[in-house]
Structures are given as structure tokens and as C-alpha cells.
Amino acid sequence: MSKTTMLSTHQLLHDDTLFPADASILPIAQRLYATVRELPIISPHGHTNARWFADDEAFPNPTALLIIPDHYVLRMLYSQGIPMESLGIGVNDYDPRAVWRIFAKNYFLFRGTPSRMWLDYTFSRVFGFTERLSEKTADEYYDGISETIARPEFRPRALFDRFRIEVLTTTDAPNDSLEDIQKIRKSSWKGRVLPAFRPDPVVDPDFAGFRENIIRLGEITGEDTSQWKGYLRALQARRAFFKSQGATSTDHGHPTAQTADLSTAEAEVLFIKIFSGRADAAEQELFRAQMLTEMARMSVEDGLVMQLHPGSVRNHNLLIFKKFGRDIGADIPQKTDYVNALRPLLSRFGNEANFTLILFTLDETNYSRELAPMAGHYPCLRLGPPWWFHDSPEGMMRFREQATESAGFYNTVGFNDDTRAFLSIPARHDVARRIDSAFLARLVSQHRLEEEEAYDVLHDLTVGLVKKAYRL
């Protein structure tokens, strides 16, 4: 790989990728994109591992780097009958080159998917390949990537800087010590890695180890978390700790967007039942609902921006969950209601000046029906970017087409990469910048926006709105 990798042009990724080819739009898109292409990356929400940057060790091998942690890749291969075990999942030992060869042979399956685009971007821009991955090029790729990631300039911190990441936020459990974050802060390296407070393990009764997590929360904070008020105080204390470590946001991954507004007496009784483990499904849902409102209340007080990611049926494939655990591609979206579900929370805090609640969805029908109208009215609400299955060229375009007319651009918050796959970060941000350029170019070509205005908007979507919404 040459040192000029990041600058040169490669066959795998055309300069005009994702732009409308129409000669009446293409030059506008090109001009717009040129103004944001090299801007720093603001990554305010994702799932990378702070340890990578704390320890700054070389990534072990191409398979461990690019396949094992990527649930998009795993699920597609599994859907075509390739056993998880042959991909190195659920086995004590595996041959990374053998897994890589299976992946390479089946790379055609990703045609038309965002994974293909992210991977080609990485192969091309980070590793310098010019011929597409296939059975034929499998070993060439494997060897080339292995060699590259062994070099110092491909260590996590070096890549972070090379990718021009200005800030990267991880997602952390309330009981997490944040020692990796602290190690980074104490190091000489200037990379800005921030934690985010994700209390699901102590807020969602369905979470593995829920009761133990709450007990541990009490130990860490010195509060009596077997009682409602002590439990709330403990959460408040952990939020304060996260904030002291740089956190500007919380995140909540619930099966639905349901919120509630119980009296203190009702909440106390419910908590006792929940903590005892005797609550039924409806009570568990009510507890999660109440906790969203409590978290909103604390956000009004401490200024942490609140993110809500609802609507995924986790671990839909029970066999796969039992054999291989969570987060490997068996989470499936479901219909999600916002208009009625959020009303209790919004009735209390919807008009608060100091409160920001960023909403995400896996149910695209909500863009135009509920989310854009709500974000276009409530001062606290902002719309997160297309999430997960919809973080894709068509998905992003649908979001802009369906949300902009009621919410405008300024009730949205720019892009989140939301990824576990560190190397895909530049690719994902690049795709977002290209799609926003393409969308704005169409508006300009139809005289719905002046080109001068489009430059402003695009810059805000890339940097300004992200920093503002996440208070970075």
C-alpha cells in the first residue's frame, strides 16, 4: 500500500458515487460535496470500544477487525445458509484466513447494500486495493490488510487522527468505571473520546443481570438502590460522574417509545415489585416508560442530551441467541408509535428550554406521520438521522424527502455513524455527506433552494447541527 492511499483515486470507489448522474444535478452535487468532503468527523453516537484508544494496540487480523464485530456482515452471510460457526462465531478457536475466504467468496451477496459500499470504501481508501474482493483476491486482501494493520500508523490512535475525527462518543453502562476513557484523558494523546450514559442494564427489567446490576449500582454509589429514591439518587450520581468524564448525552434503547408519568407513590410501589422480580410484562413496560420520564427530568436538571432508540425486537431468533449471544444480526424492527407513547413525557418536559430529546426510529412510516410534525412543534425535540437498517443511501434519502417538509433541516441533528466497526466510520460519514449533497442538489436544480443557501445547510448538517444538538 502506498502512503498516498487517502488521496489517490481508486476504481473501487468512483468520485461521483451516489450522486444523481443527471447532468442537470451532478455538477451541483459535486460542488456541494467538495465543500464538506474534508471537514472533520463529529461522531456523537456509536459503539466503538474505548479500550482500543486507551491501549492503542494493533488490530489482530483482518477477520477480527472487519467480520467478527460487524453484525451487518454476519446476518447477510447467515441468511444464505452459511453457519455462524464457520464464520468464527460461537467457537473457541477459528482460522481467521478460512473465515476470510468464505467472506470473500460470498462478497457478491452484498451487492446493492450499504455494507458493500462501506467495505469498498475501507478497502480502497484505507488499504489501497483497486480490484474488488472475491474468491480470487481473497488471499491478496488478507495478506495486504494483515501487513498494513501491523504498522504503527494503523494503530487505533493513528487512524483516529488520520480519519480527522474531532470527537468520538462511545456508549457505556452506568456501572462502567470508564477507566479506558480516563486512561485516554490522562494520556499525551489529544484524541477526544467521550462516554455516553446508557442506563438500559439498570432500567430495563428484561436486561440480563438486571437485579444484580441494580445492586452493584448501589455498591458503587453508596445508595440503597433497593428503594425507589435511593435508586434514583444513584442514577443521578452516575450521570454526574459520566458528565465529569466528558459525557454530554444519555441514550436509551427500549422496545417501544412508551413513557409514563406516575406519582411518586405509584412509582415506589412499582419499583419494589420490579426489583423483586415478580412484575409481569405490562409492569415491566410501565417501569421502562416511567424511567424515560425520570431520565428526562434528570436531563432537564443536568443538561445531558437525551437520545431514544426504540422499536427493535431484540434477539428475535431464540436459537441463535442461545447459541451465540446478542448483537449478531437477529434484532428485527417493529411498528413503533410515538404520538401517543411520548405524550406523558412531553406533557411534563416538552416545553423546557434546556432539554433536548433526540428521537430515532426503525419504522420509517413515522418520518412524515409523527416524527417530523412533532419535531416541527416541540422545542425539546430533534430528529436523529436514519438508524441501523435505514443508515443507507436509499434510507437517508427517504429521511430527507419525508422529514424535511414538516421538520425543516434545523430540527435534525446531522449524522451518527452508530457503528461497532471503527474502520467504517469515514465511509459512513462520507456516504451521509454524499446523500445530503445529492438531496440538496436536487432541491437547487428544482429552484427550491438557492445554491448559496445549500452550502450553508450542508455545512450545518455536517458539523454545525451536530455540535449544537449534542452540546459538543
Q: Which residues, other chains included, contact 267 with Cβ-Cβ below 8 Å and sequence gap of 6+?
A: 228, 290
Contacts of 247 (CB under 8 A, 6+ apart): 194, 195, 196, 197, 239, 304
337 binds its own copies (CB under 8 A): yes
Between 167 and 469, name the residue whose CB sits nearer to its own copies. 469
Q: Does 325 bind its own copies (CB under 8 A)?
A: no
Q: Which of 390, 428, 429, 433 binds its own copies (CB under 8 A)?
A: 390
- Number of residues counted as binding its own copies (CB under 8 A): 92
Q: Which residues sit opposite 249 in a β-bridge? A: 305
Closer to its own copies at the Cβ: 195 or 350?
350
Residue 89 gets which letter from DSSP?
Answer: S
Three-state secondary-structure class, residue 132: coil
- Residue closer to its own copies by CB (options 108, 147) is 108
Verify binding: residue 246, its own copies, rule CB under 8 A. Answer: no
333 makes contact with its own copies (CB under 8 A)? yes
Please state the closest distance from residue 97 (CB atom) to its own copies, in A: 24
Task: Say if CB 290 and CB 262 are below 8 A apart.
Answer: yes
| CB count in 10 Å sphere of residue 422 | 25
Q: Does 80 bind its own copies (CB under 8 A)?
A: yes
Cβ within 8 Å of residue 186, ≥6 positions away: none
- Among positions 19-48, residues that touch its own copies (CB under 8 A) are 19-26
The verdict on 384 binding its own copies (CB under 8 A) reads no
Using CB under 8 A, which of 5, 10, 16, 283 touches its own copies? 16
What residues between 426 and 465 interact with its own copies by CB under 8 A? 443, 445-450, 453, 456-457
193 contacts 156 by C-beta, under 8 angstroms? no
> Which amino acid, 422?
F
- Does the protein bind its own copies through residue 190 (CB under 8 A)? no
Q: What's the rounded Cα separation, in Å, for the pair 155 and 125?
A: 16
Number of H helices, E strands in the chain: 22, 9
Contact between 394 and its own copies by CB under 8 A: the answer reads yes
Q: State the minimum distance, in angstroms, from the CB of residue 143 to its own copies.
A: 24
- Minimum Å distance from CB 419 to its own copies? 16
User: Quick one: which of 10, 31, 75, 97 contacts its own copies (CB under 8 A)?
Assistant: 75
Q: Of residues 373, 451, 455, 464, which one binds its own copies by CB under 8 A? A: 373
Start-end of H helices in 124-277: 138-149, 156-162, 179-186, 200-203, 210-221, 228-244, 264-276
224 near its own copies, judged by CB under 8 A: no
Nearer CB in complex with its own copies: 126/441: 441
